[in-house]
Structure formats: structure tokens, C-alpha cells
Amino acid sequence: MTVNIMKTHLYKYLVTGLLAITFITTPAWAQTIDANRMNRDIRIMENILAELFRPTISATNSEGRAFVVSSDNSFRRRGIRGTYLTDYGIIFRVPAQTLFPGHLETATSLGYSFYYDAEVSSTDEDDDRSISEETVIERISEFLQDYGSTISQLQDHENILVIYDTPGNSRSIIYINQGRVNSEQSDVEPLPLISVSAKVKDLREYRSGRLSEEGFNERLSIDIDDSEEYMDIEILANILESAFENQPREGYRLSGGVSHLMLNNFGAIFTMNVRYTDEPGVRWRNNIALEFSRIQNGFDKEEEQEEYREYLEKVEQAFDTFKTNLSEYMVDYGRTLSSVSDDQHVLVTITLSGRLEEIPERLDAQIKKSVLDNYDRGRISRDEALEQVIITEY
């Protein structure tokens, strides 16, 4: 591999992650999976990916002097997300953000360059460390080779998939200058969406020495988005957007749009944010942060306790209704996805806004396309298809 990584620096995450980890209950996981242990492994891998994809931005001033602006990864760490999917494996999504904290004396007459190896001096002008499709694929491959097999609960037929997803505004450089947020347009062309997956069996064979590095790389499934339009994927995204925009006042409604992508080595992924809304005039809606603080510190009056219990009951009922509706939309309309083959998956990943501990921060809903095809052909009933929608709460 051409990527230079200080592995001893990364291995610390395999230790610190065991000591400082947030356990998340995910009752929808298969019974053979220890949810806490899987969450621990995923969080550790997220930290390692954050280090591997720690961006460094360097600048050249009007005098031709190069210097590092920032190599901080605090923003990237928040955006990397791992998800376990029953009978598929794990998906890691690495957003190619361009949010770089730093301090610039001036933003004029500067040429910017981006690279991932913060250990290399920025003054080494002969070393081309620019971010490219090749370097991203190499870095993902190295991550899979060195760390993929440490997730011990996965089965040989399952996969580890890493998605490098460049947002639409990736040509905008955002930096902090004396406390003010500034932005500059970069000449760097955004990379296409890149996804690389490996079979767990291949990961274990490589680590045991039965498979060479060359042989391992040949078995990788690499997909580079060619910007092909998938009308059926777009239509389902519009259906989900319309459905969750038109929910009752006391319910979970869409906040923003529904983004989507199609991966030839996985299937269709839809992403959205939802928030709980209630009737106008309800005190909890506009003062939830203040009231939640009061809840933690105790109530002054009995009626306040009762009011909160009633509010919480409404929110939990709305959340259950949301999950039911989501499963029904996936079954009723997901079978129209002709671009997704029957051995692929449909995944909807959702972030939930709110401060209630009783409600998860996010959830993932998945179903195999073969289930939808069987329902569409009348081989199974609608209820049987709904039972095979797996919802994981985080």
C-alpha cells in the first residue's frame, strides 16, 4: 500500500474504545448477536476511520510559502456512522466534509490543497498527497485489511462496506478565522461516491496468511458512482418525502428532504431527518429544553409531573406509529424498485430530533429486495413481508 499510516497510533482506539463506549440497545438484532459488543466494535471502527480519513488542509500564500492550516478531525468524527444490518454485515459511511477549523491571517491569494496523511510535512512538495479516487480506495482497503477481521461476531458470508460520500457542497472550503466562519470556493473537483466492500471470509483468510494482499484486493467489490439516474429510486424518495411531510400534527414529520443513493454492491439507501411536532400552543413544544432540565432536577407541582407523563405518552405513541408507517411504506412501495436486484437490500436510515431519553437518536429500517419481490408476486402475504422489516434503534 502507498498510504503511510502509523498503525501504533491507531491501535490505541482498540483499547480506549473498550473503556469509553456508549452501549446502545438494539432489540431488533438477531438473537445470535450481542448488541452491546457489536456497538462497541462499531464505535471503535468509527474512531479508526476518523483517524484514517483525518483531513489536512495546507495553503500556499502569495509568496509561495506552504503551511498547514489544519489537520483536526473533530468534525469528521461526528459524521462517520456505522450500521449493522442483519444477514448483510456492517456499513460505514464516511462523509467527505470540508469543514476545517483553523486560523488564517488572510484568505486572499491562497492556494489550497487537501490530503489525508497528517504525519507528512506539508513542505514536501515532491510528494503528491492529493485526495483522489485511488488514494481513497487504497485507504479503505488498508482499513479493511488491518481492522475488518477484529469484528468477531460477523459470519463468513457477511460483508463490511465502506462508503465515501462526497456532499454536493464539497467545493466550498469552510474555515474559522478569528472566531468568524468564512468560506472560499475551491478549484478541487469533488470526488464521486466511492464504495468498497469485502467479504468477512476474505478478511479472515487475509489475516491468517492464506490470502495474499494482491488476492485480497482482487476480491474487493468496488463501486464508483457514475452519476447514473435511477428514476425508481428518485420516485421512492419522493414518496417517503410526501408521506412524512403530511403526518398528523401530533406526530413525527419530515425535517428537510430525503436523500438517496444506489450502490451496485449493496442496493438502495435513503436518508432523512424527522422531528416530533404537536398542536400549536402546547407548552412542551417551544420549551422542551427548559422543561427537560426541570424534569431532571425535579418538579415543583404535581400537575407538572402529570403534564409531562401525558406528553411523553403522546410522543411514544407517535414514535410507534412512525415505525409502523415506515415499515408499511417500505413494503407497499419498495417493491417498485426495479433497479435493486433480489439479492440486494433497501435501507432507510433516520435521525430523530429531540431531547427525550426515551426516544432513540436514530434508527435504521432494512428489508431484502427478495422479500419485496416475493410479496409482489403473491408468494407471501403483506403481513409476512412486514414481519421481515428489521428496525434497529440507536
pLDDT tens for 126-153 read: 445 567 888 889 999 999 999 999 998 9
Helix H or strand E encompassing 94: strand 89-95
Task: Give CA–CA dist 3/10, Å, rounded.
Answer: 14
Task: Give CA–CA dist 121/110, Å, rounded.
Answer: 18
- Is residue 326 pLDDT above 80, yes or no? yes
Indicate the Cα dihedral angle 387, 392, 393, 394, nearest 10°.
Answer: 180
The torsion angles phi and psi of 239, rounded to 5 degrees, stand at -65, -45
- Which of 121-125, 353-357, 369-373 has maximum average pLDDT? 369-373
Q: Sign of the CA dihedral 218, 221, 140, 135? A: positive
Predicted local distance difference test score (pLDDT) of residue 111:
54
Q: Which residues of 332-352 are buried (b: 16+ CB within 10 A; e: fewer)?
A: ebbbebebbeeebbbbbbbbb
Residue 93 bridge partners (DSSP): 81, 163
Q: Average pLDDT, whole number, for the chain?
A: 77
* Cβ within 8 Å of residue 318, ≥6 positions away: 250, 251, 252, 276
Of residues 177 and 331, more confidently modeled? 331
3-state helix, strand, coil in the chain (%, to 5): 35, 25, 40
C-alpha cell at 344: 440486494
Predicted local distance difference test score (pLDDT) of residue 309:
83
Q: For 234-291, write each residue's pLDDT tens digit.
A: 999 999 999 998 877 788 999 989 999 999 889 999 999 999 887 443 444 445 545 5
